[in-house]
Chains A and B, each alone.
Chain A
Amino acid sequence: MALNPPPSAEVDPNAVISIRGLTKSFGDLDVLRGVDLDVQKAENVVVLGRSGSGKSVLIKIVVGLLVQDAGDVTVFGQHVHQLKRKDLDGMRRRVGFSFQHSALYDSMNVEQNLEFPLRMNTKGLSQGEVRDRIRDALEAVGLAGSLKQMPSELSGGQRKRIGIARTLILRPEIMLYDEPTAGLDPITSGEINDLINQVQENYHTSSIIITHDLTCARHTADRVAMLLDGRVLRIGSFDDVFDTDDPRIKSFHDYNFTRRDSP
């Protein structure tokens, strides 16, 4: 498998998400300086990078929350920034986005949080069907009994699960996770990592997982993309990516692992 990023040539026709030469800057700050990345069907790609390296910006551009300065993003073969509102919404229904802070609607209880996107996007569902879909989504994240709780009553891990359940209820083909384990204790983080893998297995989703947590990356990644200085520095399996003498990548790895599993 190529360790260097593929050349910025034409779009891979088999890729679900294809990113080419993506640049984005905020004022004087260049966040992305030409990112190339392909995500294949049913594949988990972990994007690793330091805080502030523009990892979140990358997936926000993918769903059209932000607009790139240059470069091209295609999702399901459609150029995202050229989509009309209606088509963009159509694409977004097929993409789930798990926010770093879960972004649950705090004026609604768990059930309403799940019901809201479902009702808004699916016409003519009966009360029973809605209840079934909510139950399925909550079971998928292992939180079947918390329908009436308000988001403020939930723990960080529970909130994360509900956030994921809320995206799963629309049965997405792509999942985008923004820092899924940030701010969680190691045990809960492990549970979330397992959940990400379960979602991939059960729903056959393609995923981009944005994280700086190497444990998370090692558990969930089919491929890892190392994002440094606004570019994808190395891409490949977890071990391949860290099998290098590049001091920047080594220091990233060593902070997480040297003390526990030094060779």
Chain B
Amino acid sequence: METITPTAAEATAPKPRRPSVISPGVDAFAIGMSDGASFLKRFFVEALWRPFHVREIIKQCYEVGYRSLPLITLTGFVTGIVFTKQSRPSLAAFGATSWLPGLITIALVRSLAPLVTALICAGKVGSNIGAELGSMKVTEQIEAMEVSAINPFKYLVVTRTIATTLMVPTLMLYCSFVGMAGSYLNVHGKEGTSLAKFLKAGFANISFLDVESSVTKSFVFGFTIGIISCYKGFNATSGTQGVGKAANASVVMSMFVIFIEEMLIVQIINWIRNW
């Protein structure tokens, strides 16, 4: 039996006048990865040394955290109510509506609150940072900072990334709290469950590891949103179109990476749980 395979020479023969190493798409991806990696490395190098721009970090925390609170509160509350409402019929089929608090708490604490918070922040904060740094880049404000002997990476990227890394977990805690409150209102209205009973039943199935893993997850998500949005904004190409692109790419890529991280972290946490 013979199979037709390209000869080694055919497969590896360089095409004339092809400037890219593998293909333009793969090359661009590889270059993007390497740029991203050096950006990440630069973050850690710059974050370790003075000056720390504490005032700017606080300002960014205010922008990222406090300013997102209304949105997170609304989303968390709605999530809690809707999730409770949607879960009730399935549990009612087994006559197990008393399990609602437990189910909601597990879902909210383990997964929903970190994820919802991260996605909302990726949308709101990520696009904000991407657009802000993008427009600073194309209007030469970043260069202006540089020639004023101010390190724009430190002043813009490090402060914003630290702010998102700190604020996303904080917002996640609010989101969990508000989500639980929403769920409680719904459960209390329908089943007449008391608050004490709700909390007892809810937290009976939650372990310290769950809370800890959610907080860790949120730190990772926050860092992801900050660093990716800053990277996209910092590397915006010139023109107003570049700003739009940077904002858009910040959101899309942050969300994409958040989902991948969620998957990986769940695996790691399960591994720890069974260990």
The answer to A–B direct touch (Cβ < 8 A) is: yes
Q: Which A residues are within 8 Å of any B CB, using their own CB?
A: 60, 63, 65, 85, 89-90, 92-93, 95, 97, 99-101, 103-107, 116-117, 120-121, 166-167, 170
Minimum Cβ distance to chain B for residue A90 (Å): 7
B23 in the interface (beta carbon within 8 A) = no
Asked whether B149 lies within 8 Å of A90 as measured between CB atoms, the reply is yes
**Per-residue CB proximity of B58-94 to A under 8 Å, as 1/0?**
0000000000000000000000000000000000000
Q: Considering the complex, give the chain A residue whose CB is closest to the CB of B144.
A: A103
The reply on B147 being an interface residue by CB < 8 A is yes
Interface residue? B40 (CB, 8 A): no
Q: Kindly provide the distance from the CB of B125 to the nearest chain A CB, expressed in whole angstroms.
A: 15
Which of chain A's residues has its CB closest to B143's CB?
A65
Q: Is the CB of A92 within 8 A of B139?
A: no
User: Which residues of B lie under 8 Å from residue A170 when comparing CB positions?
Assistant: 148
Known contacts: A103-B140, A104-B141. The answer to whether A97 contacts B149 by CB under 8 A is no
**Bound: A60/B135 CA distance, A:** 19
Taking a contact as CB atoms closer than 8 A, the residue among B132, B144, B146, B147 that contacts A107 in the complex is B132
B141–A117 CB distance below 8 A: no
B140-A120 in contact (CB<8A)? no
For A90, the closest partner residue in chain B by CB is B149
Q: Which residues of A contact B135 (CB under 8 A)?
A: 106
- B-side interface size class: 10 to 19
The list of the 5 closest CB pairs from A to B, nearest first, reads A117-B148, A103-B144, A89-B149, A103-B140, A97-B147
Give chain A nearest CB distance to B147 CB in angstroms.
4
A sample of 15 cross-chain residue pairs with beta-carbon separation below 8 angstroms, ordered by A number, consists of A65-B146, A92-B147, A95-B147, A97-B144, A99-B140, A99-B143, A103-B140, A103-B143, A104-B141, A105-B136, A105-B144, A116-B150, A120-B148, A167-B148, A170-B148
Distance (Å) between the CB of B138 and the closest chain A CB? 9
Q: Is the CB of A120 within 8 A of B144?
A: no
CB pair B143–A92 under 8 Å, yes or no, is no
Nearest chain-A residue to B59 (Cβ)?
A: A107
Cα distance A97–B144 when bound, in Å? 8
Query: A177 CB to closest chain B CB, in angstroms?
Result: 13
